Amino acid sequence: MSKNSDLYRSGINFLGILNDLKRRPEDAAKELGVSLEEILSVIKGEKELSHDIIKRAAEIWSVNISDFYLIHDDSPNGVKIMRAEESQKSSRVMDRGGSPYYEYRDTAMSSVSLFRPEWIEELCIVDDNEPNNPTVQWNDGHFMHQFTYFIGDVNYYWEESDGRKKVAVMNTGDSMYGTPFRPHTFATRKGASKNGLILALTYGNNLMISQQELSTLGVELGLNFYLDFSTKERAFSSLLKFSRENASLTHEELAKRSGIPKETIEGLENSITSLPDDEMLSKLAKALNVNVRDLYPPDSIEDKVIVRYYKDAPRWFYPESKAYEIVELAHSRYLPFSKALEFNIKKSENDQILDIKMGLHQYIYNVGDSPVE
């Protein structure tokens, strides 16, 4: 995107902020201590919005500095490619426990996507498959969701919610999905012909956007809004209580509006009463002025870590021409717009046909020995 286009977008965004704050350009000029001509030039996309103006605006208005900065599209053609040679130049070795533990390399990454994919070589060698092997060095977990594709002989270690440590013996094609804040680590198994590799694709999903806002709550206040999704019953209880408190309704008032006994509502919120049927759910939703789906608990409660072995993965051909054999890798039902697929490209007479279409960001890594167009 050209600089002029960026200036135009910035000007439109600035005007939108002024409109939200009920400020005319002349009001903004006076309060920011600049000329009206400068404000108008910024709005028209003729002049860059200076950091001094942004800093002053954040001081006197209820806005954040980040509100004034636009997302930069680093892939205006829709595709960003990173060659292996370029990836190798980003190599850096991280020590843990006083010894080299991982070699990291960047892979293709865009500023408009939430993906943070890395090529990681496991430099730590373990001589057994015990989860408490003292050689491995654990992290404390991180804010991001993580999908991992394994290449070679790699052990994946993680910690369950109850503190138990587990290990999965992984090989090429195996994959895993892990939730945020899950302590984990990786290592190469002794006897491997070469060090194991992983493709670690971390991403924040929608929560990443709200991370800074959530951080302003603090731990103590944030815990008051914790929703327990450990079981379907507790998930529904949390959603019902959350919705009722957001509407500032007492149990008695909700009972009056819904025609459901107060004792039943209290039992639902305390996970004492069984899950409501569709009729009761509709009554509660109507009384709370929310959609029925806002009260639905998840269909199933999944493990926090999902391991999928390549030999057990579903596979099929796509499209009708069978140009590709697709292998479904690890993924979570909680993230319906996050899919992990391996494409094995078959010979086809329709090589020039654009036969893959989806409305999601895509990250692609060639793990094979053959070049791919």
What CATH number should be reported for the domain holding residue 160? 2.60.120.10
Indicate whether 89 and 62 sit together in one domain. no
Residue 173 in any domain: the answer is: yes
Report the pLDDT value the prediction gives residue 351, as an integer from 0 to 100. Answer: 65
Report the pLDDT value the prediction gives residue 328, as an integer from 0 to 100. Answer: 98
Indicate whether 123 and 179 sit together in one domain. yes
Report the pLDDT value the prediction gives residue 194, as an integer from 0 to 100. Answer: 97
Residue 330 in any domain: the answer is: no
Tell me which of 239, 270, 294 is where a domain ends: 294
Residue 216 in any domain: the answer is: no
| Structure token pair of residue 174 | 């195996």
Residue 77 in any domain: the answer is: no
Residue 112 in any domain: the answer is: yes
**Strand 92-96 relative to strand 99-106, pairing:** antiparallel
Indicate whether 249 and 279 sit together in one domain. yes
| Distance of alpha carbon 185 from alpha carbon 159, whole angstroms | 9
260: Cα separation from own chain's centroid? 38
Segment 368-373 long-range contacts (CB within 8 Å, at least 24 positions apart): 372/345
Indicate whether 93 and 140 sit together in one domain. yes
**Strand 175-178 relative to strand 145-151, pairing:** antiparallel
**pTM of the prediction?**
0.82
Report the pLDDT value the prediction gives residue 245, as an integer from 0 to 100. Answer: 95
Residue 212 in any domain: the answer is: no
Report the pLDDT value the prediction gives residue 76, as an integer from 0 to 100. Answer: 84
Tell me which of 265, 294, 323 is where a domain ends: 294
Report the pLDDT value the prediction gives residue 372, as an integer from 0 to 100. Answer: 85
Residue 323 in any domain: the answer is: no
DSSP character at residue 167:
E
Residue 115 in any domain: the answer is: yes
Name residues whose C-beta falls within 8 Å of residue 71's C-beta, 6 or more positions apart in sequence.
Answer: 111, 112
Report the pLDDT value the prediction gives residue 1, as an integer from 0 to 100. Answer: 46
Indicate whether 48 and 127 sit together in one domain. no
Ranges of the chain with pLDDT below 70:
1-3, 205-217, 219, 222, 347-351
Residue 237 sits in a domain of what CATH number?
1.10.260.40
Q: What percent of the chain has pLDDT over 70?
A: 94
- Using alpha carbons, select from 60, 55, 43, 52 the residue that is nearest to residue 9: 43
Q: Sign of the C-alpha dihedral, residues 59, 62, 68, 69?
A: positive
| Structure token pair of residue 278 | 């569709």
Indicate whether 62 and 91 sit together in one domain. no
Report the pLDDT value the prediction gives residue 69, as an integer from 0 to 100. Answer: 93
**Strand 125-126 relative to strand 184-189, pairing:** parallel
Q: 66: burial class by Cβ within 10 Å (0-12, 13-18, 19+)?
A: exposed
Q: Which domain holds residue 101?
A: 84-207
Indicate whether 277 and 190 sit together in one domain. no
Tell me which of 153, 173, 207 is where a domain ends: 207
Indicate whether 126 and 60 sit together in one domain. no
The residues pairing with 151 across neighbouring beta strands, listed in sequence order, are 197
Total domain count for the chain? 3
